[in-house]
Amino acid sequence: ILLSIMMVGMGNLITLNVCIIASVNLLLPSHFLRLRSRLNKIEDLALQNRAFHIQNIDSDFLVTSASVKTLNDGLSAYAEKHWVFENDMQLSSRKFKNSTREIQLKEGLSIGGENKNTLLIGGPCSVESEAQIRSASELLQGLNLSVLRGGCYKPRTSPYSFQGMGLAGLELLSKMRDEFGHLIISEVRDATHVAEIIAHTDIIQIGAKAMYDQGILRACAKTQKPVMIKRGFGTTLQEFAQAAEFILSGGNSNVILCERGIRTFETKTRFTLDLCGVAWLQENTNLPIILDPSHAMGYAYGVASLTKACMAMSVEGLIIETHPDPSTAKSDAAQQLNFEEFRALHSELEPLAKCLGRNIK
């Protein structure tokens, strides 16, 4: 059998070829041994070249440091293909993988790849009570939407503000998933509770202030659950893509980027939604994108029209804060849509999606 082994490099993306002759008679034990020795060889090369080893179903990649621009003899003997990169945006780049990554959220629901799905994620900023989160679940169910949001560990700017319900909130979200069947997204604030978030969510949200926390990034690299990284409000596009590389190079290929507004000189709106940056990410990275107009705008009045502008960019998802009674919300009260506004937004998005050839999920 010819097994192809791919090596990815920072500076170089390399593919290795190993020839293995297997007899049909020698099935399990020797087959296993041969796979093991193949793997050992790749692990050796990874170690010698200080490279990350990424295993795919039919190929292996080694990612070397960005400073490596040519293959040494050890690598070139095995490399099937290699890519040379100018900087540390490698696995996330279109140069490595030209099409947008397909991320399966559950059986029958994926984003990216060939499909034209756009998630309309809805739910409150924070989970506040069972009645509150259940009402959001009912809203989504009525609109046939797939993903419920709700923060349980809130990264507040003041220690005196509501900090979130913590584990009790995550348990409520899990209960809603069991009852309503939708997927759950909730944010991790710091590395102390990352295991809890991984266990309770279907999509892990890394908050804008948490995206530099390498404890979180490295923990999220060790699961296969999809991870949505929110762009920090002072984060360059290069730094944003490199945060994704921490997760991709650690072995989790299911990374989604979320633009949620950056800080500029403008103070009339909460942040400035960087749609130019989104166009750059679409051109240069292979990662699906979710847009968050709620946090960018900061005021409910602008959210519906911004969401339509985001939809027009054919992104893979939109995340909108909605609350049964926004004026009483314990966090981000000014920007949350009430349910009537959310339903109206959904009905305005439907024809737009149709015109763009996209499906709202």
Q: Find the shortest distance in angstroms from Cβ 67 to ligand PEP.
A: 33
**CA 325, CA 342: separation in Å to the nearest integer?**
12
Site string for ligand PEP, 176-205 (x = CB under 6 A): -----------x------------------
Residue pair 63/52 in contact by the 8 Å Cβ criterion: yes
Q: Would you say 219 or 319 has its CB closer to Mn ion?
A: 319
Q: Minimum distance between the CB of residue 187 and Mn ion, rounded to whole angstroms?
A: 9
| Contacts of 228 by beta carbon, 8 Å cutoff, 6+ apart | 185, 203, 204, 205, 206, 256, 257, 258, 290
- Please report, in angstroms and rounded to a whole number, the separation of the first and last CA atoms in the chain: 42
Contact letters (x/-) for Mn ion, 123-152, by CB under 5 A?
A: --x---------------------------
Longest dimension (CA), the chain: 73
3 state DSSP class of 80? strand
The answer to whether 247 touches 54, Cβ cutoff 8 Å, is no
Q: Binding pattern to ligand PEP, positions 284-313, x when CB under 6 A?
A: -----------x------------------
From the list 9, 231, 332, 353, which residue makes contact with Mn ion (rule: CB under 5 A)?
332
Cα distance between residue 164 and residue 319, in whole Å: 19
- 208: partner contacted, choices ligand PEP, Mn ion, none (Cβ within 5-8 A by kind): ligand PEP
Rank residues 82 and 260 by Cβ distance to ligand PEP and give the closer one. Answer: 260
At residue 317, what are phi and psi to the nearest 5 degrees?
Answer: -170, 160
Q: Which does 207 bind (CB under 5 to 8 A by kind): Mn ion, ligand PEP, none?
A: ligand PEP
Query: With binding defined as CB under 6 A, does residue 330 bind ligand PEP?
Result: no
> By the criterion CB under 6 A, which residues form the site for ligand PEP?
125, 151, 155, 187, 207-208, 230, 260, 295
